[in-house]
Amino acid sequence: MDKPINKNFITNIIDNDNTTNKFSGRVHTRFPPEPNGYLHIGHAKSICLNFEIAQLYNGKCNLRFDDTNPEKENIEYIESIKDDIEWLGYKWDSLHFASDYFKNLYEYAIKLINDGYAYIDSSTPDEIKQQRGTLTEPGINSKDRDRSIKDNLQIFEAMKNGEYKDGEYVLRLKIDMASPNINMRDPVIYRIKKYKHHRTGNDWCIYPMYDFTHCISDAMENITHSLCTLEFEDHRVLYDWIIDKIDHDNHPQQIEFSRLSLEHNLMSKRKLNELIEKNYVLGWDDPRMPTISGMRRRGYTSNSIKDFCNRIGITKKNSSIEMGVLENTIREELNISSKRIMGVLEPIKIVITNYPENENENIIVVNNPNNLNDGERSISISREIYIDKNDFMEFPEKKYYRLSPNKEVRLRHAFNITCNKIIKDEKGEITKLECTYDPISRDMSKGNKVKGMIHWVDVNNCVNATVNIYDRLFNDSNPLTLENFNKNSLIIKNNAKLEYNINLNDPNSRYQFERVGYFFQDKNSSSDNIIYNKIVSLKDSWGKNKS
């Protein structure tokens, strides 16, 4: 997707800012993740927005880790986030950590104390909660609200020096306990937390909170447009209040847009982590996960993810995107870019009784009928082949036009066969089919016209593989808990037979297994355990009508 980002209400705001010269024509965004989990497709929406906007306006986009809560954050997450952004194909203009600003933040806090805009509170968390009031009732002032500036300064410094225990004191802004906006009721901006930080070690035992940190970090980085999700709308007045009170000359504009939600998925780092902890999935990069790393492992391309983000748009409306939009995006790309091969997921053996033994023939076929530049390959067929179990029905339902007893069907790229005999084991399971082929039908124009065409693989010229078939993570379109987990979200086909032309040494190539779907080699695939993951099915208007 090299086309530019679609215009949206945010680009409209920027266009307007540019005409009024609000930021002298500058556009500088940032993507500010907290390193407390892996990035998911919802983050991709934000990443694309921020980076694409910077690109569109010849501006800049920073990557800044919002690492103000050492208890939840770690280096593994930082590395994975950088890795995912790079994989998406974006380059940040500069890399920052909120923790780099701890000193500045501390100094700004002192300024606010000096100016009478912040005070030290010794209230307990419970007292603070009580005094905050409710949605409909105003809060009441803390007993410490009028502590002297001198005392505030002295205690704040002692807090920093580690002289108090966790929770003993906090620094709060002095705004308005009666504000209808609860965020303005003297928010806590510093807490004591004697916890080793992944970057600053034990340098600090007080840590600034989001509301105080984020706006100042934006201002310091010269950000112009601070894009965030809807739940921060109520925080914008506080954001503006702080920038005004510290009197910073760069006052970024916070603009909120709605989060992405994808049907049949969860988009909460906490719950995704729970899926891992409770062994519903194998890890952050499990191909079923809506994480960037999971989708990458499954076989989604970075372009398809960017294209998807562009298609869904940016608004302030809460919305939920159907899986079909995502699936169609990757299908559209892969239809053009991926070579076709044949692959049988659940094999049934067919013996073509009138085909000579110990012989085989090679057939030249195009790699991608929708992209002839992909060239041709040679496939092999002989007396014994495999076809997929669901391409045969002993008692065919109406309009089933694949293989069934005494019916003729065409083998893709080869010739027509007719099923003459079903061979079953003692349990009644079909083990083999005996068919005859019509030599004349090698020439399509000469054989019988048949409606059905199925894929197959030569028994003597194929590779064994395990194929993972994925389905939606949750059955419910809007899962709220893990209870609705789809137990069939992973079905392992461990006896698949793939056409020998598949290039096992090229882990980056994606294939269409004809009539089935698009597949990608799993990262754990090896020469003695070949594993492919289904990225997405082909559309199937027949199967769909049945279920």
Partner RNA sequence: UGGGCCGUCGCCAAGAGGUUAAGGCAUCGGGUUUUGAUCCCGACAUCGUAGGUUCGAUUCCUACCGGCCCAGCCA
Kindly list the catalytic residues.
34, 259, 269
User: Residue 239, Cα to own-chain centre: how many angstroms?
Assistant: 29
User: Residue 295, Cα to own-chain centre: how many angstroms?
Assistant: 6
**152-171 binders of RNA (CB under 7 A):** 166-167, 170
Question: Does residue 255 contact residue 27 with C-beta atoms inside 8 Å?
Answer: no
Q: State which residue, 73 or 286, has the beta carbon closest to RNA.
A: 73
Stretch that binds RNA, among 41-49, 231-239, 275-283, 465-473 (CB under 7 A): 231-239
Residue 361 tokens, joined: 């023939």
Q: Exposure of 316 by Cβ count < 10 A (0-12 exposed, 13-18 middle, 19+ buried)? A: middle
Q: State which residue, 44 or 170, has the beta carbon closest to RNA.
A: 170
Task: State yes or no: residue 182 binds RNA (CB under 7 A).
Answer: yes
Q: Is 517 helix (H, G, I), strand (E, B) or coil?
A: strand
Task: State yes or no: residue 439 binds RNA (CB under 7 A).
Answer: no
The residues facing 61 across adjacent strands are 29
Q: What are the two backbone dihedrals, phi and then psi, of residue 197, each rounded to the nearest 5 degrees?
A: -90, 140
User: Across 327-415, where does the E strand assignment appear?
Assistant: 339-341, 343-344, 347-352, 360-366, 376-382, 384-388, 408-411
Q: State which residue, 103 or 523, has the beta carbon closest to RNA.
A: 103
To RNA, the closest distance from the beta carbon of 453 in angstroms equals 4
Please name which of 457, 418, 412, 420 lies closest in space to residue 437, comparing C-alpha atoms.
Answer: 418
**275-334 binders of RNA (CB under 7 A):** 311-322, 324-325, 328, 331-332
To RNA, the closest distance from the beta carbon of 226 in angstroms equals 13
To RNA, the closest distance from the beta carbon of 106 in angstroms equals 15
305 vs 31, 36, 327, 330, CA distance in Å? 17, 22, 10, 8
Q: State which residue, 4 or 125, has the beta carbon closest to RNA.
A: 125
Q: What are the two backbone dihedrals, phi and then psi, of residue 102, each rounded to the nearest 5 degrees?
A: -55, -40
To RNA, the closest distance from the beta carbon of 409 in angstroms equals 8
**502-531 binders of RNA (CB under 7 A):** 512, 514-515
Stretch that binds RNA, among 349-357, 437-445, 479-487, 498-506 (CB under 7 A): 437-445
Task: State yes or no: residue 192 binds RNA (CB under 7 A).
Answer: yes
Q: State which residue, 523 or 539, has the beta carbon closest to RNA.
A: 539
Task: State yes or no: residue 406 binds RNA (CB under 7 A).
Answer: no
Task: State yes or no: residue 34 binds RNA (CB under 7 A).
Answer: yes
**254-273 binders of RNA (CB under 7 A):** 258
Contacts of residue 397, defined as CB under 8 A and 6 or more positions apart, other chains included, come to none
**75-134 binders of RNA (CB under 7 A):** 123-125, 128-129, 132-134
Q: State which residue, 26 or 331, has the beta carbon closest to RNA.
A: 331
To RNA, the closest distance from the beta carbon of 440 in angstroms equals 11
The Cα–Cα gap between 33 and 208 comes to: 16
